[in-house]
Amino acid sequence: MSVDFKKICNDICPIIKKFPKKLDGKKSILEMKENNGSNWKQMEWMGFYFEYWCNKNLKKIMQMPYAKKYGRVSFDGFLEIPWDFKCHAIESGNKVIINDSEAISNAVNEFGCIGVILVAASVNYDNESLDFKKWHDVLKGGTSNYEKKRLERRAPSRKRKTSMNISKIYFIRIDDDLLVRCGSFQKNFRNANGVPRRGKVLLDLTKMNEHVEYMINYNDLN
């Protein structure tokens, strides 16, 4: 199946360009909470806020979420092809974890490609006193079960991101050619209960070349 990926991007871009350049973590979480966003309790608020924003602003042109599932895995939206929305902290390097490898491969077999809209942003992190984490825990009504299990294992807590400043937004076409060159994340990992984790596609932002169909450079926007 052949799709005009560039044309689809042109339909989406005018809306995505309205996404705020700067986001404050507390304000973003409160907005999701007050508007019944389903993931406001999650620590990785950046990616969930972008999904929440896209759900609100792209729903007139895109099916959100995409109703079809590949096994237990779904995609964030559908407009001629499946789409996923991701956020990436520039400080963490050039590797970006995308969706389930098998699901992506099956969707690519069905449609020829899938699309990923990736926000790349510089971020600020919580202070040494973990004030942001403490604020979020209180808002959630206390320590989560996940956090309690982490404490039992004496595992270190990841620092929360407190704000983001967007640099670029990429529109990435994932097809068989790119999948062959992609790495895999958590392929040999296991969950706490011993069940193997499913492998996920790992993108290298320095090696995508022609697969970036369109890019919004926020440094060029007013």
Give percent above pLDDT 90 in the chain.
Answer: 59
Give percent above pLDDT 70 in the chain.
Answer: 85
Asked whether residue 103 is domain-assigned, the answer is yes
Asked whether residue 104 is domain-assigned, the answer is yes
pLDDT of residue 195: 37
Q: Residue 140: beta bridge partners?
A: none
Q: Is residue 207 a contact partner of residue 7, using CB atoms and an 8 Å limit?
A: no
Asked whether residue 65 is domain-assigned, the answer is no
Mean pLDDT over residues 146-172, rounded? 78
The span from the CA of 16 to the CA of 84, in Å, is 13
Q: Is residue 54 a contact partner of residue 37, using CB atoms and an 8 Å limit?
A: no
pLDDT of residue 191: 37
For residue 37, the enclosing domain spans 5-60+72-220
Asked whether residue 66 is domain-assigned, the answer is no
Longest dimension (CA), the chain: 53
Asked whether residue 88 is domain-assigned, the answer is yes
Asked whether residue 67 is domain-assigned, the answer is no
With a cut of 70, say whether residue 122 has pLDDT above it: yes
Quote the pTM value. 0.86
Asked whether residue 40 is domain-assigned, the answer is yes
Which of 112 and 209 is assigned the larger pLDDT?
112
pLDDT of residue 193: 38
The span from the CA of 2 to the CA of 6, in Å, is 12
Asked whether residue 174 is domain-assigned, the answer is yes
The span from the CA of 20 to the CA of 17, in Å, is 8
Exposed e or buried b per residue across 119-157, where buried means at least 16 C-beta atoms within 10 angstroms of its C-beta: bbbebeebeeeeebbebbbeebeeeeeeeeebeeeeeee
pLDDT of residue 51: 95
Q: Residue 120: beta bridge partners?
A: 88, 168
Mean pLDDT over residues 4-30, rounded? 95
Note if the bond before 65 is cis, omega within 30 degrees. yes
With a cut of 70, say whether residue 43 has pLDDT above it: yes
Total count of domains within the chain: 1
| CA 66 from centre of chain | 15
With a cut of 60, say whether residue 189 has pLDDT above it: no
> Binning pLDDT at 50, 70 and 90, where does residue 146 land?
low
Mean pLDDT over residues 38-61, rounded? 94
Tokens of 151: 């404490």
pLDDT of residue 126: 96
